């Protein structure tokens, strides 16, 4: 493979297209395949030969692919991205002309992944040399992938097994990866709508569904929709194959905070298994109402939490920590009328030296507002009066 001549390569590709062998064509156009290391395929101007073997637009597609190989051999990823974009756009034109057949889907998957990866590399190259706006290349890649998506989504005529709609979820996952990277998560919404309203929703392959649920789960987290986030991320974690340990760890990194916010603390065994011990003290602090330990752990592993994007979510655990601390005070006082001063003393003991009674009242008012505590405050008497029944409802019951 790595030593064929250009003509031989073109012949193999032409056969694949003529006989509609999607996977074979895809391999011949993939940058994971060894043919890209073949110096005889690193050509700057292959148009003439391509035109001999193929009709438009496939001749453009193949020529662009070869030019891309040439760019990659020169480490010019910005240019490589440009040519890969041409590959995808030519493919779209060809794909649209395939009526009621979807054999070319494997090609689409391959070239789209390569497009995204080149966009990543191009961004890196550009930012190092201080040029261009960050995210610009990725956005353009996303636009191109959207064009593919529209072709797939619009395929209403073909029978289910020949439908291009099967390509939708794969493309959406690629788009998710880009939107998350450039921090434009709101663009995910229409895509999610498209899948949820599709009749193929649960029939896609498991790996695609796991990826999909992972991203939708993360987005739900971002939107503070923790109940749904838990559902999606749990699915992704459970259905992710046990051999993909790295992926499972990644899913867990987001699932853990969500579960903790819903009051479910993780077991140490699972934290050890997936090398996520940073969450151990977080869980301990939260369930004990130990604000001091929570703050200390957040500070200690700040870099890790920020990098994985869960820092802000973990800060929300403060609310549950307050709730657990106040519950302890309640149990100690053994009365459903609790003086604010007692709670203030507990908070000061936990390192919150600057709170005054106004602030404590405010914190408690928030807990009541969010249904963590059943009761009411009296500003004039400086007291909290909790309900005689279920003053501190179990967390999962109302969230």
The site for other proteins (CB under 8 A) is made up of: 78, 126-127, 129-134, 136-137, 140, 183, 185, 222, 306, 309, 311-312, 315, 318-319, 358-359, 361-366, 368-369, 376-380, 385
Instruction: Supply the minimum distance, in Å, between the C-beta of residue 36 and other proteins.
Output: 24
Instruction: Supply the minimum distance, in Å, between the C-beta of residue 352 and other proteins.
Output: 10
Tokens coding 85:
């974009």
Helix (H) or strand (E) holding 363: helix 357-369
Instruction: Supply the minimum distance, in Å, between the C-beta of residue 175 and other proteins.
Output: 18
φ, ψ for residue 19, nearest 5 deg: -90, 10
Cβ-based nearer residue to other proteins, 263 or 309: 309
DSSP string, 228-287: HHHHHHHHHHHHS-TT-HHHHHHHHHHHHHHHHHTT-PPPHHHHHHTT-THHHHHHHHHH
Cβ-based nearer residue to other proteins, 129 or 334: 129
Cβ-based nearer residue to other proteins, 93 or 140: 140
Tokens coding 189:
């919404």
Decide if 138 contacts 101 (C-beta within 8 A).
no
Q: 261: closest CA among 324, 328, 325, 320? A: 320
Instruction: Supply the minimum distance, in Å, between the C-beta of residue 383 and other proteins.
Output: 10
Helix (H) or strand (E) holding 114: helix 105-128
- The β-bridge relationship of strands 375-378 and 337-339 is unpaired
Instruction: Supply the minimum distance, in Å, between the C-beta of residue 152 and other proteins.
Output: 27
Cβ-based nearer residue to other proteins, 103 or 311: 311
Decide if 209 contacts 238 (C-beta within 8 A).
no
Q: CB within 8 A of 253, min separation 6: which ones? A: 276, 308, 310
- Secondary structure (3-state) at 399: coil
Cβ-based nearer residue to other proteins, 100 or 356: 356
Cβ-based nearer residue to other proteins, 52 or 371: 371
Farthest-apart Cα atoms in the chain, separation: 91
Instruction: Supply the minimum distance, in Å, between the C-beta of residue 371 and other proteins.
Output: 9
Cβ-based nearer residue to other proteins, 62 or 68: 68
Instruction: Supply the minimum distance, in Å, between the C-beta of residue 366 and other proteins.
Output: 4
């Amino acid at each position: 493979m790595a030593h064929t001549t250009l003509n031989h390569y073109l012949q193999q590709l032409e056969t694949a297209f003529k006989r509609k062998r999607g996977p074979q064509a895809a391999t011949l156009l993939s940058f994971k395949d060894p043919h890209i290391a073949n110096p005889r395929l690193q050509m700057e101007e292959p148009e003439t030969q391509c035109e001999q073997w193929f009709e438009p637009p496939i001749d453009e597609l193949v020529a662009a692919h070869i030019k891309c190989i040439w760019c990659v051999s020169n480490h010019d990823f910005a240019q490589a991205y440009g040519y890969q974009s041409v590959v995808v756009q030519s493919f779209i034109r060809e794909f649209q002309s395939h009526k009621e057949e979807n054999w070319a889907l494997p090609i689409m998957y391959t070239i789209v992944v390569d497009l995204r990866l080149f966009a990543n590399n191009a961004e890196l190259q550009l930012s190092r040399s201080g040029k261009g706006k960050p995210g610009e290349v990725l956005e353009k890649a996303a636009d191109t992938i959207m064009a593919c998506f529209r072709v797939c989504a619009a395929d209403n005529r073909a029978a289910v097994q020949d439908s291009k709609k099967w390509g939708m979820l794969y493309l959406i996952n690629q788009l998710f990866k880009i939107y998350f990277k450039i921090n434009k998560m709101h663009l995910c919404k229409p895509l999610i709508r498209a899948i949820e309203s599709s009749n193929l929703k649960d029939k896609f392959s498991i790996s695609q569904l796991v990826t999909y649920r992972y991203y939708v789960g993360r987005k739900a987290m971002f939107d503070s929709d923790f109940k749904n986030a838990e559902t999606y991320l749990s699915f992704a974690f459970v259905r992710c194959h046990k051999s993909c340990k790295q992926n499972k760890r990644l899913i867990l990194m987001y699932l853990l905070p969500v579960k903790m916010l819903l009051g479910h603390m993780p077991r140490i065994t699972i934290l050890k298994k997936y090398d996520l011990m940073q969450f151990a003290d977080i869980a301990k602090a939260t369930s004990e109402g130990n604000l001091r330990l929570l703050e200390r752990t957040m500070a200690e592993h700040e870099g890790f939490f920020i990098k994985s994007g869960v820092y802000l979510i973990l800060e929300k655990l403060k609310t549950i920590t307050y709730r657990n601390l106040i519950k302890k005070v309640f149990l100690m006082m053994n009365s459903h009328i609790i003086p604010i001063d007692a709670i203030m003393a507990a908070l000061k003991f936990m390192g919150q030296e600057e709170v005054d009674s106004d602030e404590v009242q405010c914190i408690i008012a928030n807990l009541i507002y969010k249904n963590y505590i059943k009761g009411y405050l009296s500003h004039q008497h400086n007291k909290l009066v909790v309900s005689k029944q279920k003053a501190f409802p179990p967390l999962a019951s109302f969230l």
